[in-house]
Amino acid sequence: MSARTIPPHPQAGPDGGPENGPAADADPPPDAGREPARAGGPDAGPRAASGDPPGAGRPPLRVSLFDLGPPPPCPGRFNMARHTLEGPGLPGAGPAPDAKIALTAIGPDGAERWSYGRLRESVRRAAEGLRRLGLAPGARVLLRLGNEPRFALMFFGAAGAGLVPVPTSEQLTAAELARLIAAAEPAAILCADALRGALDAACAGLAGAAPPALGDAEMAALLRAPVGDFADTAADDPAFMIFTSGATGAPKGVLHAHRSAWARRMMWRGWYGLTPDDVMLHAGAFNWTYTLGAGLTDPWAAGAATVVRAAAPGAPRNPAVWAELMRAHRATIFAAAPGVHRQLLKSGADLRAMPALRHGLTAGERAPDALREAWRAATGTELYEALGMSEISTYISSSPDTPPRPGAAGRPQPGRRVAVLDEAGAPVPVGSDGMLAVSRRDPGLMLGYWNAPPPWRGEWFLTGDAARMDADGYVTHLGRADEVMNALGYRVSPAEVEEALSAHPDVAECAAAALPVRADLEIIAAFVVPRPGAAPDADAILAAAAERLAPYKRPREVIFVPELPRTANGKVRRAALAAAHRRDGAG
């Protein structure tokens, strides 16, 4: 199997095929330097200043188009590793000093601490070591490493060298790895010795020659290379590739540019309220974009500190450990998926004894209002939600400047141009359902899908999410468009049904899905994980949901399950629930 260099500016070949990397639309994206359109379009009134309270200084939107103007332009020559470790930082603060602790990794043998100086030097050594392997600029480097500091060193080292790291989950099976290797065609693989078994089995089944795999000893040698400089990459050059979880089909390679790290600065105020004094405790795995971005890239680029838990593959995790780590390391921000927040709240840990905690962050799946209320009651702080996806990262959120609103994921962050569109591609009136879309002017938007047709529709990237925007720009996520249920001819969002179900005290977790019960009939079913110690009653749960839902939205059946099936990134697999319980004889 031979490596293929990604061109600096991916374009489709003459036949739109894959020979030059991911296909790109021939139409140029909107000019980010133009005078920006007003929020909601020319009839919606003047723009609000960044950080204004909802609706401050402007009339309500009339159509579902939110635009406060573009972000500051990304420099033309830009490398995400250099920006993350040596960039300008927050205005007036500058880069963090070498002596400051950037990363604390908590492992079974205690805490491993990395100063900014040590981190910068090690990443530069890794970049130089990878360069000396003779890998061509733009070559893919697949990472199969655990939740350990070495993952960060190799990821930023590869990006810093002008290569394209491809993070993967340590949980992938040999068959899953084989599909990813065949799709990504990496020029090299960096794999921990402890994870080598599945990799060797995957490579044995490849149609062509397997790429060289570097183990623990070879990676240690990379970190002994001379301290080199970061590659002089362009902002639009490929920087890394993430494969989607494959919840709705075969995994797709999402290729991001170096400028995506610059775009993340919109989240610093638009979601985190980030400062150089913050200590970010992140509960996610390094291969997840949520962790790579919110847990590593952003805190380091802002000069803050990060704390992660490094655990061996398959090691049991007591959710109360997050409370212990918050206290011990004086975390000011705790970031996790909603399921982790829920488990922590159920653990019985004392969450009031957190004098440094400013707030929590949640992303990865929808956070019910009940979860935010429970977090607020337990910690005395807010829980700020964000909506995102691999193709754009998190772009809609609540924040210290944008208070949470019941039922809504938040507002587009200042600098984003986001719309809810009808089937013809026009913004719908506020309060109407449609398809959530992000403008191609957004510097955080992917370059494209690897070896796939262009996903653009004119100015827009269609996210595949059904949504509704209110007059203040708050967005309610209605679920994936392909998961919207049909009940007696009405379209029903699973997220709305799940919100109503979650309010019942005996419900720990839930999912709603269309359940085939006959060849010609589907009903809305509620799949419920009972709260520990509860004696749940299906009729009582249905009755409580009926108080909050229109008749056509109400579940017709409750199915109790021990747990909800999830993707590797923690998203609920509603289709798998329906398939496992269907009664139409087609399963």
pLDDT, tens only, 414-437: 999 999 999 999 999 999 999 999
Average pLDDT score over the chain: 86
Q: Compute the average pLDDT of residues 126-131.
A: 98
Q: pLDDT category, 348, cuts 50, 70, 90?
A: confident
pLDDT at 481: 75
CATH for 483-585, options being 3.40.50.620, 1.10.238.10, 1.10.3720.10, 3.30.300.30: 3.30.300.30
- Phi first, then psi: what are they for 501, rounded to 5°? -65, -40
Q: Compute the average pLDDT of residues 303-320.
A: 80
pLDDT, tens only, 229-256: 999 999 999 999 998 754 445 678 999 9
pLDDT at 6: 29
Lookup: tokens for 203: 């490579």
Got the DSSP string for 355-377?
TT--EEEE-SS---HHHHHHHHH
44, pLDDT greater than 60: no
Q: pLDDT category, 510, cuts 50, 70, 90?
A: very high
Residue pair 22/452 in contact (Cβ under 8 Å)? The answer is yes
126, pLDDT greater than 50: yes
Residue extents of the structural domains in the chain: 483-585
Distance (Å, whole) CA 344 – CA 317: 11
pLDDT at 522: 81
More confident residue, 369 or 587: 369
Q: pLDDT category, 478, cuts 50, 70, 90?
A: confident
pLDDT at 156: 98
pLDDT at 29: 37
pLDDT, tens only, 539-572: 999 999 988 887 878 999 999 999 999 876 677 8
Nearest to 245 by CA among 326, 172, 344: 172
pLDDT, tens only, 147-189: 899 999 999 999 999 999 999 988 888 888 998 999 999 999 9
Cα separations in angstroms, 381 against 47, 271, 357, 377, 402: 30, 15, 8, 8, 14
Residue pair 243/180 in contact (Cβ under 8 Å)? The answer is yes
Residue pair 456/440 in contact (Cβ under 8 Å)? The answer is yes
363, pLDDT greater than 80: yes
Distance (Å, whole) CA 253 – CA 450: 5
Beta-bridge partner residues of 237: none
Strands (E), 246-400: 253-257, 279-282, 305-309, 333-336, 359-362, 382-389, 393-397
Residue 544: how many other CB atoms lie within 10 Å: 18
pLDDT at 367: 86
pLDDT, tens only, 71-122: 999 999 999 999 999 988 887 787 889 999 999 999 888 899 999 999 999 9
Q: pLDDT category, 260, cuts 50, 70, 90?
A: very high
94: left (phi over 0), alpha (psi -120 to 50) or beta: left
pLDDT at 372: 94
Nearest to 188 by CA among 162, 149, 214: 214
Beta-bridge partner residues of 333: 280, 359
Quick check: helix, strand or coil at residue 411?
strand
Amino acid of residue 190: L
Q: pLDDT category, 354, cuts 50, 70, 90?
A: confident
Q: What is the 3-state secondary structure (H, E, C) of 88-114?
A: CCCCCCCCCCCCCEEEEEEECCEEEEE
Q: Compute the average pLDDT of residues 302-311.
A: 92
Contacts of 466 (CB under 8 A, 6+ apart): 433, 434, 435, 436, 477, 478, 479, 480, 481, 484, 493
263, pLDDT greater than 90: yes
Residue % of the chain over a pLDDT of 90: 63
In this structure, the chain runs to a length of 587
Q: Compute the average pLDDT of residues 1-6.
A: 30
Quick check: helix, strand or coil at residue 255?
strand
